[in-house]
């Protein structure tokens, strides 16, 4: 079929995966909304899992937060995660991905995305011992905050002033940016 059909399938799949999650989205429902036969979805993508992997991207827009000095980086990262303007490019795809992590391929994609967009660029900037480990722990802290927001929907965190959350959680993240003494 044409590239247009593939694009229509991808757009509809992304919309449904983001709105309903992996488990609640079916190939049949994507095909119906796209106005095509379900066999075409499989023909273009191979499987529901591959359709998900090709249409939901959790790359993470961390580059702007990583710019600038290490001082204040923790707060910048946390503020970025809390920024409602980035919900569609960070929090919503993260929710869809994390809910589908019973798939090894999805887990691998989520880990590699955090590695490529946050841990590796951060590790390159850190000095001292255990820079790679410290960068991965920062990524884990960011992932924990994302989980509190989009999976657990922790009302205390959601209801808190974002400036306070950025200040407090950012300080915790920042402890990993400098090598431990001694």
List pLDDT tens digits, range 39-77: 999 999 998 888 888 888 766 678 888 988 999 999 999
List pLDDT tens digits, range 84-116: 888 777 888 888 888 888 888 888 888 888 899
Q: Residue 1 has what pLDDT? A: 46
User: What mean pLDDT value characterizes the chain?
Assistant: 89
Q: Residue 182 has what pLDDT? A: 64
Site of tokens 């059909």: 5
CATH superfamily label, 63-174: Tetracycline Repressor, domain 2 (1.10.357.10)
Q: Is domain 3-55 in CATH 1.10.10.60, yes or no?
A: yes
Supply 60's token pair: 């993470």
Give residue limits of the domains in the chain: 3-55, 63-174
Q: What is the pTM of this model?
A: 0.81
């Amino acid at each position: 079929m044409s590239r247009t059909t593939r694009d229509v399938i991808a757009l509809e799949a992304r919309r449904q995966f983001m709105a309903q999650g992996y488990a609640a989205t079916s190939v049949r429902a994507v095909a119906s909304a796209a106005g095509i036969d379900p066999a075409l979805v499989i023909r273009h993508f191979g499987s529901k899992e591959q359709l998900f992997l090709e249409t939901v991207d959790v790359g993470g827009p961390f580059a702007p937060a990583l710019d600038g000095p290490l001082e204040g980086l923790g707060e910048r990262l946390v503020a970025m995660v809390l920024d409602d303007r980035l919900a569609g490019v960070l929090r919503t795809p993260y929710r869809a991905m994390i809910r589908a992590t019973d798939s090894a391929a999805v887990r691998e994609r989520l880990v590699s995305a955090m590695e490529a967009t946050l841990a590796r660029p951060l590790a390159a900037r850190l000095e001292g011992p255990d820079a790679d480990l410290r960068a991965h722990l920062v990524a884990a802290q960011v992932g924990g905050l994302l989980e509190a927001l989009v999976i657990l929907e922790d009302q205390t965190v959601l209801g808190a002033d974002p400036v306070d959350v950025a200040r407090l959680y950012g300080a915790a993240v920042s402890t990993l940016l400098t090598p431990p003494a001694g």
